[in-house]
Chains A and B, each alone.
Chain A
Amino acid sequence: MPACQPRTTLHERLPKRTLAAVLIALAIFSRSISGQEPAAQKSTSDAFAAAKPLLEKHCHSCHGPEKQEGNLRLDTVQGLSIGGKSGAVLVPGKADESLLVTAVRRTDPSLEMPPEEKLPDTDVQVLIDWIQQGAKHPDGQIVLSPPKPPFDLEEARKFWAFQPLPLPLTSPDNSSHAIDHWVNSTLAAKGLNQNSPADKLTLIRRATFDLTGLPPSREEIQQFLNDESPDAYSRLIDRLLATPQYGERWARHWLDVVRYADSNGLDENIAHGNAWRYRNYVIESLNRDKPFDLFLREQIAGDLMIDDSTDEATRIERLTATGFLSLGPKVLAEGDETKMQLDIIDEQIDTIGKSMLGLTIGCARCHDHKFDPIAQADYYALSGIFQSTKTMESLKRIAKWNENSVATAADKQALEQHQAKINAKKSDIDTLIKTATASAGESKNVPEDQFPEDVRKQLTTLRDELKTLEQSVPELPTAMGVTDGEMSNGRILPRGNHLAPGRLMNRTIPVVLDRDGSFKAEDTHSGRLEFAQWMTSEKNPLTARVIANRVWRWHFSRGLVATADNFGKLGEAPSHRELLEWLSAELVRSGWSLKSLHRTIMLSETYQASSDTNAAAEALDPDNRWLWRWTPRRLEAESVRDSVLAATGVLDRSMGTSMLHVKNREFLFDHTSKDLTKYDSNRRSIYLPVIRNNLYDAMSLFDCTDGTVPNGDRASSTVASQALFFMNSGLVIQAADECASRLLQQFPDNEQQRVEQLFWQTLGRAPSVNESQAISSAIPKVTERLRSDGVAENDLARAVWTNIVQTLLMSNEFLYVK
């Protein structure tokens, strides 16, 4: 995690040098503008011969044989190669990137040399020429060695998560499902036994919630219970995987990981009016079972995966996918634009690190990672890739993120046609005026009020029509996303301070991950495409492990690596390492098919085990780490709301676009604190706006992520405000009321049938005798109570049933899957 933001402390204030500091800071990010070309090519020895006396006269006294201030000496090839405390002192061939030049140019107030006074421009140019021509030295070649990693590279690569994936790994025991094989062998070693399978009623409820986030209908349950064929369960899984609700459910999981939101949040909360396109892209990709490796590549570098031959739908998809990089919260009013850009890049690195690699790379912004083998140099090498990526259109307060056009040919045609209509209307107006003028027999302008009345009327009509047309020009759709920008490498910023930039790093990935040292970002591109390709290649075992573990986490409420977003040293070691390796390899083998992974997991006995508890197992393994049972779980926020709507029959299953009440880039609420966002739709929760800084309370109360940082491991709390929500919220009461009204219509004369139907709708089963009795004896009490509260006789039945329905919605069984 970008642990500690760079601090430009007040104590470091250097008011008199303000301008220079800003200039140098800006210069870090702009493509370096080379110094003047050397007037004439001199021989390399000439160049050094000219520079040598200057170095001797102005530098060697402090950076020579006697003294080495800042650990720097400039009188030897070795010294010139190693550089000093601030890093490399020069880059052969690149004067602009050389700290020596920065120092003598005096563009950075924290680095001005020689200290006494500025060298004459002619002398400065001599030094520039020498470096620009390759910094040739008679004693040997100046070679910049990459900074030595602050850890033992070989040792670091032995860490389990960095090791190559064993491909393919088969279960040594063919008689059982591979998953069960490893789970059972661990259980046996711990002296535990796995529960027997859950009953069918439990299984269909579990599987349906798990894959679709919704309860099964009464008909679906009946059908499954009646199906006695041996593959009934397997076909159930196939049916569920094929529903569009599957994508809606599992897209929400991925949105947690990519900190999806429909507003910026942080300081200036303006609308991500087009974020929904990314959201729907995720839903559709999952429903089509797009290979997960491709899915990831599109999100990192979709814009670089298209060319003129790419079909329209794919082009739009890939441009939309890069919204992943720009969805993060940004400090859009940051006055220091350099810092803003660094913060944005940092957020991107942090998100990519956690979401895809399970690594907290962001920790290395200000210092080498304290626990994982990621040096600050690695961080800034990687940051160059994102510095060379255009995420922002403008950094001026209030800054604007970049959006790419995702217009279809049809959109463009519609616009052209509209434009043509406008032009036609204009020419109609011109013609009318000309005709009227001509018929007046005058050669010059005739005031319009002298036109005949019918012409004037016609003109007014035409102009009104023109106005309507002009006001309804279709907007070409755009999507949040990135493109390649100006190529620029990252400089190491000691303590993250951008006012004192250090050595320049080539764009690459962290050295510990670049096992064969083959990663190369082309000079002409940001390197995002190469990064994306590496990310999903066999050279990188982390990605497959991280997503396989995530899928397991979302099925079982706990990952095999419990810290789903952190596979580093401070993450937890896997509880079942072979199992995780096998699942990861299996995922890759299947062509990165998530649906295949779901099937594999859900067909295991481990997944189908009952959730019953027993004291002995509870004592040995209270957290169910060893999987002796299926861990019951509370519904996630979205499922809470969706289930209330589904159970009461009011859920709208159509797909949504944007539900924001404001346009793209407008304030959700500024100083008024009045949030006019509406959540009164009956669509599934994934389509409701995610407003950072003010999440919809029906979501935040039930531990929905806040959309600001990757979170693949949601909490599941039990707090009294959740009870208040079920007791008092309009959402629950209205749904209960609607349901009551339907029940009364459906079964006007039969209370017992009503009770039965209510249980099926809310809990997916028939009521027990005791439960029926409890309800029957409660009804007269509630009736009496409401009557004495003044409810009119005509409204009484509906009110009583609203009260009863609400009670079922409040019940534990409704809220938990077992």
Chain B
Amino acid sequence: MSKINLLLLQVLVAVVAIALWYVLTTFPVFGKVLLPPFFFSNPWDVASQVVTWFVTGVIWKHLWVTLIEALLAFVIGSIGGVLVGFWFARQPRTAAVFDPYVKMVNALPRVVLAPIFTLWLGLGIWSKVALGVTLVFFIVFFNVYQGVKEVSPTVLANARMLGMSERQLMRHVYWPSALSWMFSSLHTSVGFAVVGAVVGEYLGAAAGLGYLIQQAEGVFDVAGVFAGMFVLAAFVIAIDVVVTMVEKRLLVWRPVVGDSRP
């Protein structure tokens, strides 16, 4: 399929979905509107709400707050995950001791931690960052742990035979291997950083996209909820594009699936 055809079809899906939404919320079918606008709003209201947000500039503050929270959660969670992952992988005894607790905390639905973080850290950004960190940390931690543990034994033996010291092994073998695993989960961990921020805002905040959606919901402003969702979706896609670009730069050495050898 050519690129243009693909794009046309992709746009077509959106057009059909929005048209259906519009028709079903506006025109009665057999004397009855199937999707009552009170619960489903309609494309027109949602679009005008989004436009109003951007025209008045209200949205920028909220986007900025969410972005900062997600970014901080990602950076702090990743650093923690890399350090602990490395430490556990190189110290199997420590890993064995902590294993049940790691599993326990990871099994905990992180949403229940949100009230505690709000209590400890207040309504500002840090309670959201903390929630995001608990999500990002475990993804990065497990990947780095796996990455360090699953270095190919042959590559490791080869590195030793090439005269590498423990420190050089760290730098030339374990580190790149762990990083490649971490980057392979980059999309997931960035996504979870955003989830942490938005859920945290939703549960109690003074600014952010989650706050915006929660506010709209509080006054039964369905158009506002949908508008918030669309802005959030666009925001996540934008971040994903950036992540893909970063990934492409950092993982040049990795074979692309389906890539034929030049």
Indicate whether A and B interact: no
Chain B residues packing against A (C-beta within 8 Å):
none
